Structure 1
């Protein structure tokens, strides 16, 4: 059942107070608001586990997410970095549901305070964030006429830049950045803006290949370099 405005405000304030009281690197376990949210999360995870369809799971996560907004907002506003599995899980759900800006807002807090992944994940938080966004971008780009927000990719790169992860995972993010920039270019209309995007694409794809030779960016890099060379020849 959806919270009333008054209930949401009360929950947000309670979460902020309890998060501020929990010391960095401590656990939120024992905090009343946290325990209530964990109980709700367990119930919702059970509902998700009863679904076999990934598409239906994503739709259910999107439906459930608003219920956690007051608590998460409260933690993000005043939290000091205590381990919080609710916040980490909702970060993942937002990314799964396609709310990348919202997921990265939480990721900023999670990474800044070095929160750990919830049980069942072997990858680090930085790796999960980089791969989740990169895979979503690459999937979108594979669709005919598909696009992805380059600002989300750049924000993801900046957020995860200093965090350890396998080179293959970081390469995937650079491939997504490169492909997104390249796909934004109309090869029949190469102006200064197009050249800027081609430069971004070239740099990102070259970095991806440097990190992981089999990243899948070589064909695109060849096409980018060919287009840059062609335009340079035409300009001269």
Structure 2
């Protein structure tokens, strides 16, 4: 178990690591903390632990078994990451395999709020993914969360999908990857329409039709980006729903 002093030390040195490099967001990938500094030594020590954890994970073939292991392993790195994020709030950052790997892990063990929190830092400072990944960070985050939403929609909220879309807006990625995000959002909006409660405090001004219209907008955008994304039947269904809603008399209206 890591002592409170050691945890504070990790957080402080992570905060210092960003200050040792150029300030502000950069277009190039920043350097890692310098090895001749206390922050660099702390980072190197934690990287050794990280690589040992990655080795342990590689020995487990079951993805289902790996994910809770990642959630448990992540606890070791939270103080360092807090310090790195605090440095980011001051406009400072270094390339950080520890933080980036924990972002990836958080997607795997389905803590999407945490993953998106880390992703905001990763994308702001243009941190690189480990070499074993063949996608850029924006594409990875958007596509991975969308794929989970399409396969296990109950694990991802509409708000999280919208955050992923906004966070990666303007980032370069293949059109089919972005199409998956819009597909997942479109289906999430449709589910919101199905569960619509007009008495809820957060009910949209346009009622059920507002959710349905948003669903169609995102599904159509997905189709524009990728004709093979698999939303044609969704679009037909949602279009019928919108038509039916338009033909349904509103409360207090008389029918002919």
Could you tell me whether the CA contact under 8 Å between 2:20 and 2:33 is conserved in 1? Answer: no
Report the structure number with the largest CA radius of gyration.
2
Q: How far apart are residue 189 of structure 1 and its match?
A: 7.5
Task: Name the CA distance, whole Å, in 1 between partners of 2:3 and 2:158.
Answer: 36
Secondary structure (helix, strand or coil) at the match of 2:134 reads coil
Aligned to 1:124: 136
Secondary structure (helix, strand or coil) at the match of 2:194 reads coil
Over aligned residues, Cα RMSD in angstroms? 1.9
Aligned to 1:20: 19
- 1:150-195 superposed Cα distances (whole Å, 9 cap, x missing partner): 1100000000011100000000010000011112222898894321
Aligned to 2:253: none
Structure 1 spans left out of the alignment, 5+ residues: none
1:82 aligns with 2:107: no
1:214 to 217, 225, 228: 228
Structure 2 spans left out of the alignment, 5+ residues: 24-29, 251-256
Q: How far apart are residue 37 of structure 1 and its match?
A: 1.2
Task: Name the CA distance, whole Å, in 1 between partners of 2:236 and 2:2.
Answer: 54
2:189 to 164, 171, 181: 181
Aligned to 1:158: 166
Tell me how many residue pairs correspond in the alignment. Answer: 231
2:209 to 195, 199, 202: 195
Aligned to 1:67: 76
Could you tell me whether the CA contact under 8 Å between 1:148 and 1:180 is conserved in 2? Answer: no
TM-score relative to the length of structure 1: 0.92
**In terms of mean alpha carbon deviation, does 182-191 or 54-63 score higher?**
182-191
Secondary structure (helix, strand or coil) at the match of 1:107 reads helix
Task: Name the CA distance, whole Å, in 2 between partners of 1:39 and 1:61.
Answer: 16
1:4 aligns with 2:3: yes
- When residues 113 and 234 of structure 1 are mapped into structure 2, their CA distance, relative to the original with a 3 A threshold, is same
Could you tell me whether the CA contact under 8 Å between 1:127 and 1:164 is conserved in 2? Answer: yes
Task: Name the CA distance, whole Å, in 2 between partners of 1:226 and 1:158.
Answer: 29
Q: How far apart are residue 14 of structure 1 and its match?
A: 1.4
